[in-house]
A and B are shown apart, each in its own frame.
Chain A
C-alpha cells in the first residue's frame, strides 16, 4: 500500500494575492513534510475557473516547485486535462517530459477530460468530444516520448514528423493514469493499460467492483504505452491521537470540501449528452438525486481516514482488502485547518499508520 497527498489548492475568499500565495506556500510545505516523513506521491489536479474549490490551474508549475524542493516523493501530475481546447498534446508531452527530467524521474502522469461545464464551457470545448480527445491524447503521447521523431494523423490533432523534445528520464516513459469518477471509466483505463486514479470518493463496495473488473480487464489490454496496472483511490485524512479531536477537525474540512464541490456546475447539468453519464464530482451521489433533503450535510464517505492512528489503520486495511494499491489523501481545504495541525497530522500518520503497511509489504519500493 502506498500513500499520497492530493492538492486541489482550494482557496478561501477573498481571492487576494496574499490568500492565493498562502495556499500555495502551505501546500509546498506540506509536500516537503510529506517527502521527509515517507509519503509516496504528491498529486496536483488541473482545474480552471473553479472559484474557491480549486485554484490549481497551472499544476505543472506547482509540481515543478514541489520537485525542486523534495528528494524522494513522486510527482503526480494528476491529471492533465486532455481536451484540445485546453491543452495541446504536444505541449503536454513536452511539459511532462521536462518535469520528469527536473524531478529526476519521479513523474506520475495522470490524464482526464474534465467533468464541469464551468471549465469546458469556459474554453468553449464540446463535451461530446472530450472522451474522443482524451483517447487520442493517451494513445499519441507515449509515442511522442518514445519515438525519436513522431507523426500523427488523427481527428483531434495532426502533426507531421517532428522530434518532440525532451524525452522523459523514465524509460520507456512515466507511468500513466486516468482519473476515474464515473462508473465505467475504470474499463477505459484497463483497456488502454492505464492506472486507475480515483478522484471521487467511492464506497468500498463500488471500489471493490471497479477494482475487480479493472484487474481482470487490464490483463487483456491493448496498451497505449507501458502498462501501469495500479489502482489508487481518493480519501480524506486527519490523524490525531484523540479520536474526538480528529473527528471534529477532520470533518470540518471534509464538509467544506464537499460543499464547495457540490456548488460546481457539472457538465451533465448544463449540457444534455450521452458523453457524461454521471455528474462526476466528489459529491455526485448527493447532487444527482432528483430530490432529497437539502438539509442533509455531506455524508461521511466509506473508510474515511479521519481518526486516531488505530482507526485509520483499520480504515485503510479495508481499502487494501478490496485491492486498492494506493490511497491519496486530501489533507485540508480552504485553509480550514491551521497549517501546524495539517503538518502534525501528516507526521503522526507517518509515524503511527504507515508502519502497519510497510512491514507487511516489505518496505517501500
Chain B
C-alpha cells in the first residue's frame, strides 16, 4: 500500500555538478537591501517523482521556483544570483531542491558554493526594474540564454504576505553526498506581486531537461534584508528525512 508520493530519482546523480563542501557556513551571510524576485510556475507532472531523490516528495501540483537576488552589499561585494529550484517536501517541511544557480561575480560564486553548497556557474544575471515591469535575463558563457522573463502589473503586498521556503543544495561533503539545508531569512521592506511571464527557458541549460513549465503563478518583486543562516541540518538524499537528517554540530562538516 503506497501512501505518499516519493522521489524515485537516482540519488547519486545529484553528485554531478554538485560542489565540494569541506566546511559548511557557521556564520550568517548578510545581504542587506537585497532586491529579490521569487517566481513560481507549475510544471508538467509526468517526471515529478523522477526529478527528486528518494529523500523528497513532490508537491501537487509540481512547481518550480526561480529566485533572483540583486545584492548591493555582501562580504564579496555586490553580486546578482539567479537560481532554479524544484519545490518539494522534506519530511513534513516545504523545501526547494536546488537545480542550479548563476552568479555574476566569481568571488561570490566561489563562496556560495564552498560554504552553502550552491551548484553555481558564473554568468550574466540582469534584473531591469521599471515602473510597470521588471525584466530578468540569465545567461552563462557560451549559451544563448537560460532564462528570460517579464514581471508585469505590480501590486503592493504587505511585508508578511510572501512565503519563503528553505532550500536543499546537493553537495559532496566529507561525510558523503548530502542535501545541505539553507535557511534564508527575509526582513521584507517592500514587496509587490506581479504577473509572471516566461519568455525563454532552457531547462537542459539549468541542469534538468525534464522541467516543462505549464502555468506561471504570480511573482513577487521586493526589497529585503536577506540573511543566509549558518547551516544547521544536512540530509541524506537516498532515504526519507525522518531517517536521513543529520544535525550539523560545531565540530565537523
**Which residues of chain A have a CB within 8 Å of any CB of chain B?**
12-14, 49-52, 117-118, 121, 256, 258-260, 262-265, 268-274, 277, 279, 283, 286-298, 334-336
Q: Which of A121, A283, A287, A291 contacts B181 (CB 8 A)?
A: A291
Q: Which residues in B have their C-beta under 8 angstroms from that of A118?
A: 60-61
Output the least CB separation between B22 and chain A (Å).
Answer: 23
Output the least CB separation between B188 and chain A (Å).
Answer: 11
A295 near B163: Cβ-Cβ < 8 Å: no
| Residue B247 CB within 8 A of the other chain | yes
Q: Which residues in B have their C-beta under 8 angstroms from that of A295?
A: 91, 233, 235, 241-245
Q: Which residues in B have their C-beta under 8 angstroms from that of A291?
A: 166, 181, 183, 229, 232-233
A273 near B193: Cβ-Cβ < 8 Å: yes
Output the least CB separation between A360 and chain B (Å).
Answer: 38
Q: Which of A256, A272, A294 contacts B163 (CB 8 A)?
A: A272
Q: Which residues in B have their C-beta under 8 angstroms from that of A117?
A: 61, 217
Say whether chain A's binding surface is mostly helix, strand, loop, or mixed: loop
Q: Which residues in A have their C-beta under 8 angstroms from that of B245?
A: 293-295
A12 near B242: Cβ-Cβ < 8 Å: no
Q: Which of A263, A293, A294, A335 contacts B1 (CB 8 A)?
A: A335
Number of interface residues, chain B, beta carbon within 8 A = 50
**Which residues of chain B have a CB within 8 Å of any CB of chain A?**
1-5, 38, 40, 42, 57, 59-61, 63, 87, 89-95, 157-158, 160-166, 181, 183-185, 191, 193, 215, 217-218, 220, 229, 232-233, 235, 241-245, 247
Among B91, B157, B164, B166, which residue has the most Cβ atoms of chain A within 10 A?
Answer: B91
Q: Which residues in B have their C-beta under 8 angstroms from that of A293?
A: 232-233, 245, 247
A274 near B157: Cβ-Cβ < 8 Å: yes
Q: Which of A51, A52, A287 contacts B93 (CB 8 A)?
A: A287
B218 near A294: Cβ-Cβ < 8 Å: no
A286 with B60, Cβ < 8 A, contacts A259-B4, A294-B235 known: no
Q: Which residues in A have their C-beta under 8 angstroms from that of B90?
A: 294
A263 near B57: Cβ-Cβ < 8 Å: yes
Output the least CB separation between B171 and chain A (Å).
Answer: 16
Q: Which of B89, B164, B235 contacts A290 (CB 8 A)?
A: B164
Q: Which residues in A have their C-beta under 8 angstroms from that of B57?
A: 263
Output the least CB separation between B210 and chain A (Å).
Answer: 19
B92 near A283: Cβ-Cβ < 8 Å: yes
CA distance A273 to B91 in the complex (A): 26
